[in-house]
Amino acid sequence: MTEKTLLLPGIDPVQLYGVNDAHLDMFRKFFPGLKMIARGLELKLQGEVAEIERFETKLNQLIAHHQRFGGLSEQFIRKAMNPELDLPEMEPETEQGSDIIVYGNNGLVVKARTPNQRRIVKSALANDMVFAIGPAGTGKTYTAVALAVRALRNKEVRRIILTRPAVEAGENLGFLPGDLKEKLDPYLQPLYDALLDMIPADKLTSFLETGIIQIAPLAFMRGRTLDNAFVILDEAQNATEAQLKMFLTRMGRSAKFLITGDLTQVDLPKNQPSGLPNAVKILHGVEGIEIIHLDTGDVIRHKLVTRILHAYQSASEKSERN
């Protein structure tokens, strides 16, 4: 009889053991010769050496799966614990596996849901710089963040850099309470929200503290060389021509740039034109850069969002005719 204590870093014990230890009970059924005592991030095993080693191998596979796909289903655990199945046979099964970008938290599957979202995914593989331009609700930012998280998990890049112009309609940083970070966070919140869907909160906090993931306003990009990174510029319609040129020329040799924007929602002052339309015009046809235009057919929010966009578009066309 041998005793061994396994440490379980990088995973929430509830995720591993299941609610009310449901997963742990399954472990015990598959390994009846082992006595298991779970205490937080420690799992004490008592039994034969060979059984302990076999269980430890299976447990490591479960933890690796959770880290990659963000969840553990009962069905998957049953497959994982089956001694006749190896890890390569235990990939999640899906009818649209080719559309999956990344697996998020609690079993969330993030995938391309429209033809133009699929174009973004395909283009990001083939090009180092991609522009995704379209109306609200078309999943531009979410798709971009998912691609960045996938690249980080696959070790294609060392870090993720997310940036936005700190510009909002009718708002001014100076009138918001708090220090600089507290003033800026509301402008960057959509990026945090997307990341929290795909990366566990404790790991995201660690990534932010160590600089593996950086979220900052566009002005903070000046003077930097962004290398070995997946870089996203969100809300690019609110960047001036000078700001956009500054950002695009920050690109290092081993970097991916994805720029998103909505030309119908420019929040810059009237005397400051958006730099995005001119950038699209100038860069059209440049090798290594692809420009993808999304439309109302790509809207994946509530069905009313599509109707609202059509209504505004009709009103704008009537105004132009008059």
The domain in which residue 198 lies consists of 97-321
Count CA within 13 A, CB hemisphere, residue 87.
11
Q: Whole-angstrom Cα distance, residue 213 to residue 159?
A: 6
Q: Which of 49, 68, 90 is the last residue of a domain?
A: 90
pLDDT digits (tens, 9 = 90+) for 232-251: 999 999 999 999 999 999 99
Q: Whole-angstrom Cα distance, residue 100 to residue 98?
A: 6
Q: Whole-angstrom Cα distance, residue 46 to residue 7?
A: 15
Q: Is 299 exposed, middle or buried (0-12, 13-18, 19+ CB in 10 A)?
A: buried
Residues 74 and 108 reside in one and the same domain: no
Which residue reads 């929010």 in tokens? 301
> In the predicted model, what is the mean pLDDT of residues 93-107?
66
> In the predicted model, what is the mean pLDDT of residues 165-189?
61
Q: 268 in helix, strand or coil?
A: coil
Residues 80 and 103 reside in one and the same domain: no
Q: Please name which of 273, 301, 284, 312 lies closest in space to residue 137, comparing C-alpha atoms.
A: 301
Rounded to the nearest 10 degrees, how much is the dihedral formed by the CA atoms of 112, 117, 119, 123?
-90
Radius of gyration of the chain (CA): 24
Residue 258: strand pairing partners: 130, 232
- The count of domains in the chain is 2
> What CATH number corresponds to the domain at position 25?
3.30.1370.10
Residues 170 and 54 reside in one and the same domain: no
- Give per-residue burial for 139-174: e unless 16+ CB within 10 Å, then b: bbbbbbbbbbbbbbbeeebebbbbbbbbbeeeeeee
Residues 152 and 284 reside in one and the same domain: yes
What pLDDT, on the 0 to 100 scale, is given for residue 120?
95
pLDDT digits (tens, 9 = 90+) for 18-65: 888 888 888 998 888 999 998 888 899 999 998 888 888 888 888 877
What pLDDT, on the 0 to 100 scale, is given for residue 93?
43
Average pLDDT, the chain: 83
Residues 139 and 84 reside in one and the same domain: no
Comparing 10-24, 85-99, 154-168, 192-206, which segment has the lowest mean pLDDT?
A: 85-99
Q: Is the pLDDT of residue 167 over 60?
A: yes
Q: Which of 49, 70, 90 is the last residue of a domain?
A: 90
How far is it between the farthest Cα atoms of the chain?
Answer: 89
Cα 101–chain centre separation? 9
Q: Which of 66, 90, 114 is the last residue of a domain?
A: 90
Residues 47 and 153 reside in one and the same domain: no
Q: What is the DSSP string of 279-321?
A: HHHHHTT-TTEEEEE--GGG--S-HHHHHHHHHHHHHHHHHHH
The pTM (predicted TM-score) of the whole model is 0.69
